[in-house]
Amino acid sequence: MITWIRIVLVLSAIALMTVVLAPLQMVGLVFDLKLRRRLPRLWHRMACWLLGIRIHVHGELDRRRPLMIAANHASWKDILVLGSLADVVYIAKAEVAEWPVFGVLSKLQKTIYVVREQKRTTGDQVGEIARRMADGEIVVLFPEGTTSDGNRMLEVKSSLFGAAAAALPLAPAGIVYVQPVAIAYMRVQGMPMGRYHRPIAGWPGDVALLPHLLGVLKAGALDVDVTFGRSIEHTKASKRKEVSSRIEVMIRRMLLDRLRGRHKQ
């Protein structure tokens, strides 16, 4: 009974916070104010706190721009975690825009939607990503293209890194920085997360959103390690597949190091 009362209180608090901040965010979007980049970070921080997601950061976010973050993708919680650490914008598949609740929230954060099946629109989408990066926005890419079970990293789709190359003509120094980031869910209620609790960390595509969300709320406190790796400089001489391969190796190594209790980056 107490668990369900806590769940209702948490969801009510998140709903209230959204109702209060959403109008301000809409004004920021209409007038393109800096506020539109900062409010989502506040929302994500508060959501993480309410959900009991405790974040432990290793390394630092690269201060150079234009910057693209490439991270492994285990769950919708990754969006809250990264969004609480920096003023970021996400690249997401177009279907996300139609999701209940999450679709509205993603639009308020001015998410960049990609329709991978429609080749004729790819140029416009890549162009928007490039412009947003050149404008100083930190773009987050989940190069696996889907969520995993949290235990491993799936194969990276090199085509998704095309936006980094497209941003080069708009980069003042002719360099786009691509920073690998590993997100590892480590503990539940302070205890190491074993195979029994691992489904709470990952959100594979065949698991419905509502049951997974309730599972996270019932679990209580979750500890997640976020590791920022060394950025790779993407220049005109860089090859997309080589860059994606290097990024994949770095993320995979950092993720496994955390999950296995190693702490070298």
Amino acid (one-letter) located at 86: A
What local confidence, expressed as pLDDT, does residue 118 receive?
A: 55
> What average pLDDT does range 66-73 have in this prediction?
96
Q: What is the pLDDT of residue 121?
A: 47
The average confidence (pLDDT) of the chain is: 89
What is the number of other CB atoms lying within 10 angstroms of the CB of residue 262? 11
DSSP secondary structure letter of residue 66? S
87 has a pLDDT exceeding 60: yes
The 10s digit of each residue's pLDDT in 31-67 is 999 999 999 999 999 999 999 999 999 999 999 999 9
> 129 versus 55: which is more confidently predicted?
55
* 66, amino acid identity: P
Top-confidence residue, 168 or 211: 168
Which pLDDT does position 249 carry in this prediction? 96
* Residue 122 scores a pLDDT above 70: no
Cα angle at 78 between 130 and 59, to 5 degrees?
80
The maximal CA–CA distance of the chain, rounded, in angstroms, is: 61
pLDDT score at 43: 97
Say how far apart CA 253 and CA 249 lie, in whole Å: 6
Check whether 224 has a pLDDT greater than 70: yes
Q: How far apart are CA 137 and CA 141, in angstroms?
A: 13
User: Mean pLDDT across the stretch 215-227?
Assistant: 89
CA atoms within 13 A on the CB side of 132: 25
Global pTM? 0.92
Angle between helices 2-30 and 209-219 (to 10 degrees): 120
Residue 265: pLDDT band with limits 50, 70, 90: very low
pLDDT band at 248 (very low <50, low <70, confident <90, very high): very high
pLDDT, position 120:
47
Using one digit for the tens of pLDDT, what is the confidence trace for 141-195? Answer: 999 888 877 778 888 888 878 888 888 988 889 999 999 999 999 999 888 887 6
State which amino acid sits at residue 83: G
Closest CA to 177 of 185, 169, 190, 168: 168
**CB-count burial class (<10 Å; 0-12, 13-18, 19+) for 95:** exposed
Terminus-to-terminus CA distance in the chain, angstroms? 43
